[in-house]
Amino acid sequence: MPLTQATLAPPATGKMVKGLAMCYTVIFVTFYSAAISGYWAFGNKAYSNILKNLMPDDRPSLAPTVVVGLAVVFVLLQLFAIGLVYSQVAYEIMEKQSADVNQGMFSKRNLIPRLILRTLYMIFCGFVAAMLPFFGDINGVVGAIGFIPLDFVLPMLLYNMTCRPPKSSCTYWINVFIIIAFTGVGIMGSFSSIRNLVLDANNFKLFSSKVVD
């Protein structure tokens, strides 16, 4: 989005609106459709990992092998993108200490430490994720407390504070509705994910595929 806003061809505002509309459309079609249909199909017995719903331990797979394979590929692609985006802060901190600014970005002096540090960082993240069988609960807490306010509440609030649309306009009240609705979603998600995290943390075994009863 910052790249779109910084393009030379005006107007930047229209491009930002189109980009936001596309982003929210993709989120609704992919994430919310899967969440709503998954809860409709499995109820509160649904796993935090969608693949475990399709491949349960106690009965045959609920989806054809091709569908499960495509799901695995798409999950991996999403994880690669998420890891690339959200790990940039850690990469920046590490490389500030290890890089030599007097040499090129792709010089051996900077490239080799970068590859080593990033590889070790991803190995550490994968190790922690594999070690905790309730890692999905941790993701739920992070999403409810961090991602929902940043993605749905704060942008609308800042828009109303900065652009000051008239209180009689549809834009203002749509933003207010989104703020209230997703604040409630975030609060409910926080309570439920923290509850699951506490319940699972009291009874688990390291590196197990599921929480031990």
List, for residues 153-202, the tens digit of each pLDDT value: 888 888 888 888 888 889 899 999 999 999 998 898 888 888 888 887 77
Q: Determine whether 144 is exposed, middle or buried from the number of CB atoms within 10 Å of its CB (0-12, 13-18, 19+).
A: buried
Mean pLDDT of the chain: 79
Find tokens 């995290």 and name the residue.
Answer: 197
pLDDT attached to residue 183: 92
What CA–CA distance (Å, rounded) separates 143 from 89?
Answer: 18
User: What's the number of CA atoms in the CB half-sphere (13 Å) around residue 149?
Assistant: 10
Q: Residue 56, preceding bond cis, omega within 30 degrees?
A: no
Interhelix angle 108-131/88-98, rounded to 10 degrees, is: 140
Residue 99 Ramachandran class (φ > 0 left, ψ -120 to 50 alpha, else beta): beta
CA dihedral 166, 171, 172, 177 (to 10 degrees): 160
pLDDT attached to residue 1: 45
What is the mean predicted confidence (pLDDT) over 33-39? Answer: 80
What CA–CA distance (Å, rounded) separates 135 from 133?
Answer: 6
Core vs surface per residue 164-187: b (16+ CB within 10 A) or e: eeeeeeeebeebeeebeebeeebe
pTM of the model: 0.57
What CA–CA distance (Å, rounded) separates 206 from 108?
Answer: 39
Tokens for 144?
């409810």
Interhelix angle 88-98/65-86, rounded to 10 degrees, is: 50
More confident residue, 154 or 5: 154
Q: What percent of the chain has pLDDT over 70?
A: 85
Q: Are 65 and 59 in contact (CB under 8 A)?
A: no
Confidence at 9, pLDDT banded by 50, 70, 90: low
Find tokens 């975030």 and name the residue.
Answer: 186
Q: Which residues contact 74 (CB under 8 A, 6 or more apart)?
A: none
Alpha carbon separation from 200 to 80, 130, 174, 213 (Å, rounded): 27, 15, 38, 9
pLDDT attached to residue 139: 77
